[in-house]
């Protein structure tokens, strides 16, 4: 297991992150098995929010994990969450 020794940055999901998000999701069974289209649809929904965590000091940036939320009024529901196996428990 490797230790994260650089800065972790949390930022909004972009379409360029989709393949990395799917790879992390598939490596983290029994996570919710979303399809690419479901992530894309949520990005078009004004109440949907996907955040990704990446190593900010390492070009190219590597995704550590992601979280998926759905906002309702003044709260949000967590719909999906995963951390790449090599970064878990850190």
pLDDT in tens, 50-80: 999 998 777 777 899 999 999 998 999 999 9
Q: What percentage of residues in the chain have a pLDDT greater than 70?
A: 92
Give the pLDDT band (50/70/90) at residue 2. low
Chain segment 39-50, per-residue pLDDT in tens: 999 999 999 999
Distance in angstroms (rounded) separating the CA atoms of residues 77 and 54: 22
The residues that bridge with 82 in the sheet, in sequence order, are 66
- The pLDDT of residue 32 is 73
SS (H, E, C) the chain: CCCCCCCEEEEECCHHHHHHHHHHHHHCCCCCCCCHHHHHHHHHCCCEEEEEEEECCCCCCEEEEEEEEEEECCEEEEEEEEECHHHCCC
Q: Is the pLDDT of residue 23 over 90?
A: yes
């Amino acid at each position: 297991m490797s230790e994260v020794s650089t800065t972790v940055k949390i930022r909004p999901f972009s379409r360029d992150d989709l393949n990395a998000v799917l790879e992390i999701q598939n490596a983290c069974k029994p996570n919710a098995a979303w399809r690419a289209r479901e992530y894309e649809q949520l990005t078009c929904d004004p109440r949907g929010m996907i955040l990704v965590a990446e190593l900010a000091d390492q070009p190219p940036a590597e995704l550590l994990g992601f979280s998926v939320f759905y906002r309702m009024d003044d709260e949000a529901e967590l719909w999906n969450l995963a951390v790449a196996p090599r970064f878990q428990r850190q």
